[in-house]
Amino acid sequence: MCPFSLPRGDTKSKTKKKREHTMTVKKFIALTSAAIAATALTASAQVAVDIASAYIFRGATINDEVNIQPGFDTSIFNGSTTVGTWANYNTDTSEFDEIDYFFGVTIPTGEESPVGIEIGYTEYTYPGAEGDADREPYISFASETLPVDLSLGLYYGIDGAIKDSLYVNLGLGWGMDLAENLGLGLSADLGYLDPDEGDSGFSHLTLGAGLDIAIPESEYVVSVGIAYVVETDDKVLVVDEDFFFTIGTTLL
């Protein structure tokens, strides 16, 4: 993960209906244990668990409770493809309210190319909820050859509540090492939303800062972050939560 990673890349630009919850603490423990076991067997895998003061996705507040967000991903086919899963565990209900599955494929652009390209797909599922899952293919472009990292992502919903909705994210990132085991990261993400129904426009700007602390003689990294969400157009998206915080650990 980056020195400061927003929860799963920004937030759902739609108001969700209140959903039923069925997953328990035992299933949460089982999911995390299985991911750690898979990491031990796969050299390129990583497990991350974050605690967030609220679940914010693409500027929108999904819930304002404390959430635990475990994630697992690994690279296959000589690193050309990444697959993984991510979940949100709501401590207020003591149950999972979202489990996502994703994959991304790197498009060969040549060793000298300043831009990397990835295409992928995410399926957002909601345990106990009625209706179809939200399904979203994407294409992203990234460059790390400049003094700052630039990225552009285009996401288009093909099913569920986000069907026929386009989301565009322009990202800017910068990082530096403060010490041997300490890194600082700054980020800015500008979102543009073109929903199937409603107004289109720039939905929000998220400014983030965080620290990565590598634990000596181990494979663990502890991350602490803070973000501020700026409301850019209340006709497109009303921002309910301005500040949110995360603390987490990553097992590389």
Buried b / exposed e over 212-242, threshold 16 CB at 10 Å, is: bbbeeeeeebebebebebeebeeebbebebe
The pairing of strands 243-251 and 67-76 is unpaired
Q: Taking a C-beta distance cutoff of 8 angstroms, is the pair 107, 117 a contact?
A: yes
Domain with residues 7-251, CATH architecture: Beta Barrel (2.40)
Helix, strand, coil distribution of the chain in percent, nearest 5 = 10, 55, 35
For residue 231, pLDDT beyond 60? yes
Q: Which of 34-48, 99-113, 190-204 has the highest mean pLDDT?
A: 190-204
Q: Indicate whether 104 pLDDT > 90.
A: yes
Q: What is the pTM of this model?
A: 0.83
Q: How far is CA 181 from CA 26, 51, 213, 216, in A?
A: 34, 22, 6, 7
- Render pLDDT for 116-171 as a digit per residue (tens, 0 to 9): 999 999 999 999 777 779 999 999 999 988 889 999 999 999 999 999 999 999 99
Stronger pLDDT, 39 or 73, i.e. the higher one: 73
Determine the 3-state secondary structure of 89 from DSSP. Answer: strand
User: Hey, where are the domains in the chain?
Assistant: 7-251
Taking only the tens place, the pLDDT of each residue in 57-80 is 999 999 999 999 999 999 988 889
For strands 149-156 and 134-143, give the pairing: antiparallel
Taking the CA of residue 118 as centre, how many other CA atoms within 13 Å lie in the half-sphere pointing to its CB?
Answer: 20
Q: How far is CA 125 from CA 98, 117, 129, 230, 231, in A?
A: 6, 26, 9, 28, 27
